[in-house]
């Protein structure tokens, strides 16, 4: 199924949302019963059984760093891969909350903050590749965080998973990042059941979706065993096995490639090509007058419409100070604009699951769907992006998702089914 790549529960710390989606790329809240009575207790710990408020027991997994914890779930106490001595990548907390998981941090030539996406980065500054809010199923302005992971907080997203059938499809999709609810596939299919439910891509920060949703990778996805000396699964290398790669094949002039403890390339001993000789060689983005055939209109996902492009002093990024950005409001759809004024490029409400109405363009030159006619949930008619409506289930029953039987129902939202009355265990359709 054609899908957008996507984010995730623990990615709240990585890209700003509590939580993908393409085909597989093989790759608690704590409830205190005494809430309201122990008002002097700090968040993240509980009073001991003896009633001594000073004897606090900190709970690993509640998302609050306390006591001897170095981190807790997505709470990393301000630490990043960079603060741990790496170049880039997303930092995680280990299962015991007493240390960091740096397996997805990388050593590399990339420099997060130079406005150029490089290995291990989902984005960098203004460079978000060809991704927009529509990649997350919505509209608005996609941004990049300081750690070079996507920040979709400026995106307005409908329930993209419901509209495209990503719930109960056998793949763990972080649907809450697509305007929906946690994908039940993550709970049911991320274990050892013979099928790979993991997904990793730019919107997950290149992290496995099962890892983010459940804290562990799906063992059926053959992730490779880091440290066994054989490169496999998601590993770029393993000990002395570089899978045929070298500093030169990675774009450097010379040097010795190494493998770090997370089975990622360590290129700190690789030698860069000389910057300043007007020849863009290897992994240089540009060099002096050599812009590698690029101009203002071809870089940064066509963010600019003209002007003069230059190379920065370190040959690892662009100087866009003389590039010209599109003008929102001139009626011309340019750069990353979805629309401009009355020009909506012929897009219609029915194309995205509405019943009718008129698409408009907002002040930021992104689509405004507020004038579209929304299906009436509760009228017993499945229309538009609805999957079901009341007792009308579109001919589906529990067995369509691998249950042994039971009573399938429609969620009150009409965009997702209610499987609570189904019997047995689901399987991937």
Q: What is the DSSP string of 114-144?
A: SS---TT-S-BTTB-TT--GGGGTEEE--EE
Q: Please give the residue that has the higher pLDDT: either 252 or 148.
A: 252
Q: Please give the residue that has the higher pLDDT: either 140 or 369.
A: 369
Average pLDDT of 13-34? 33
How many Cα atoms within 13 Å fall on the side-chain side of residue 74?
Answer: 17
Under the banding of pLDDT at 50, 70 and 90, the label for residue 276 is very high
In this prediction, what percent of the chain has a pLDDT beyond 90?
Answer: 18
Q: Return the pLDDT at 288.
A: 95
Distance CA 99, CA 222 (A): 25
Average pLDDT of 407-426? 85
Average pLDDT of 19-31? 34
Distance CA 301, CA 218 (A): 33
pLDDT above 50 (res 3): no
Helices (H) and strands (E) in the chain, counts: 4, 24
Which 3 state secondary structure label does DSSP give 209? helix
Under the banding of pLDDT at 50, 70 and 90, the label for residue 111 is low
Q: Please give the residue that has the higher pLDDT: either 95 or 324.
A: 324
Q: Contacts for 378-385 with beta carbons within 8 Å, 24 or more apart?
A: 378/414, 382/414, 383/355, 384/350, 384/353, 384/354, 384/355, 385/158, 385/162, 385/163, 385/352, 385/353, 385/354, 385/415
Of 129, 149, 153, the residue nearest 141 (C-alpha): 153
Which 3 state secondary structure label does DSSP give 422? strand
Distance between start and end Cα atoms, the chain: 12
Q: Return the pLDDT at 274.
A: 92
Of 191, 235, 236, the residue nearest 213 (C-alpha): 191
Under the banding of pLDDT at 50, 70 and 90, the label for residue 21 is very low
Q: Is the dihedral of CA 158, 164, 165, 169 positive or negative?
A: negative
pLDDT above 60 (res 1): no
What are 379's two structure tokens?
A: 């009228």
Q: With contact defined as beta carbons under 8 Å apart, do 120 and 87 qualify?
A: yes
In this prediction, what percent of the chain has a pLDDT beyond 70?
Answer: 76
Task: Tell me 52's DSSP state.
Answer: -
Distance CA 429, CA 427 (A): 6
**78: CB partners within 8 A, 6+ apart:** none
Under the banding of pLDDT at 50, 70 and 90, the label for residue 4 is very low
Under the banding of pLDDT at 50, 70 and 90, the label for residue 32 is very low
Q: Return the pLDDT at 109.
A: 54
Average pLDDT of 37-55? 36
Of 114, 126, 125, 124, the residue nearest 304 (C-alpha): 126
**32: CB partners within 8 A, 6+ apart:** 38, 46
Distance CA 23, CA 196 (A): 11
Distance CA 105, CA 123 (A): 15
Q: Please give the residue that has the higher pLDDT: either 341 or 170.
A: 341
Phi/psi of residue 367, nearest 5 degrees: -60, 140
Under the banding of pLDDT at 50, 70 and 90, the label for residue 299 is confident
Q: Return the pLDDT at 55.
A: 38
Q: Return the pLDDT at 52.
A: 42
Q: Return the pLDDT at 8.
A: 35
Q: Which of 27-31, 82-86, 164-168 has the lowest mean pLDDT?
A: 27-31
* Pairing of β 155-157 and β 150-151: unpaired
pLDDT above 60 (res 5): no
Q: Please give the residue that has the higher pLDDT: either 37 or 208.
A: 208
Under the banding of pLDDT at 50, 70 and 90, the label for residue 136 is low
pLDDT above 60 (res 23): no
Per the prediction, the chain carries an average pLDDT of 76
Phi/psi of residue 134, nearest 5 degrees: -65, -25
Q: Which of 57-61, 165-169, 375-379 has the lowest mean pLDDT?
A: 57-61
């Amino acid at each position: 199924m054609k899908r957008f790549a996507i984010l995730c529960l623990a990615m709240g710390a990585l890209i700003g949302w509590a939580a993908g989606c393409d085909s597989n790329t093989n790759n608690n809240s704590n409830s205190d019963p005494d809430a309201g009575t122990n008002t002097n207790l700090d968040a993240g710990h509980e009073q001991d059984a003896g009633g001594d408020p000073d004897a606090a027991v900190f709970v690993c997994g509640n998302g609050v760093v306390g006591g001897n914890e170095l981190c807790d779930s997505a709470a990393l106490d301000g630490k990043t891969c960079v603060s741990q001595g790496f170049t880039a990548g997303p930092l995680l907390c280990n299962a015991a909350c007493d240390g960091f998981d740096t397996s997805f941090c990388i050593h590399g030539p990339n420099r997060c903050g130079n406005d150029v996406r490089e290995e291990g980065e989902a984005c960098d500054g203004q460079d978000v590749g060809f991704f927009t809010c529509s990649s997350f199923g919505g509209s608005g302005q996609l941004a990049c965080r300081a750690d070079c992971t996507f920040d979709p907080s400026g995106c307005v997203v409908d329930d993209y998973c419901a509209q495209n059938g990503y719930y109960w499809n056998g793949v763990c999709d972080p649907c809450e990042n697509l305007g929906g609810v946690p994908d039940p596939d993550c709970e049911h299919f991320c274990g050892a059941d013979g099928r790979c439910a993991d997904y990793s891509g730019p919107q997950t920060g290149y992290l496995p979706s099962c890892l983010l949703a459940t804290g562990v990778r799906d063992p059926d996805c053959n992730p490779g065993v880091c440290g066994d000396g054989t490169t496999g699964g998601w590993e770029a290398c393993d000990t002395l096995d570089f899978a045929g790669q070298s500093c030169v094949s990675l774009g450097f002039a010379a040097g010795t490639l190494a493998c770090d403890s997370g089975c990622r390339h360590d290129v700190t001993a690789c030698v860069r090509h000389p910057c300043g000789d007007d020849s863009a060689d290897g992994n240089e983005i540009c060099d002096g007058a050599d812009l590698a055939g690029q101009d203002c209109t071809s870089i940064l996902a066509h963010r600019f419409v003209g002007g003069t492009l230059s190379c920065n002093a370190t040959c690892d990024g662009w100087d866009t100070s003389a590039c010209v950005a599109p003008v929102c409001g001139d009626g011309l759809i340019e750069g990353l604009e979805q629309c401009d004024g009355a020009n909506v490029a012929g897009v219609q409400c029915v194309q995205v699951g509405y019943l009718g109405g008129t698409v408009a363009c907002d002040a930021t030159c992104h689509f405004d769907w507020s004038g579209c006619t929304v299906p009436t949930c509760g009228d017993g008619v499945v229309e538009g992006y609805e999957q079901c409506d009341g007792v009308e289930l579109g001919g589906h029953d529990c067995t369509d998702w691998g249950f042994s039987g039971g009573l399938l129902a429609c969620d009150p939202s009409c965009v997702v089914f209610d499987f609570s009355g189904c019997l047995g265990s689901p399987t991937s359709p």
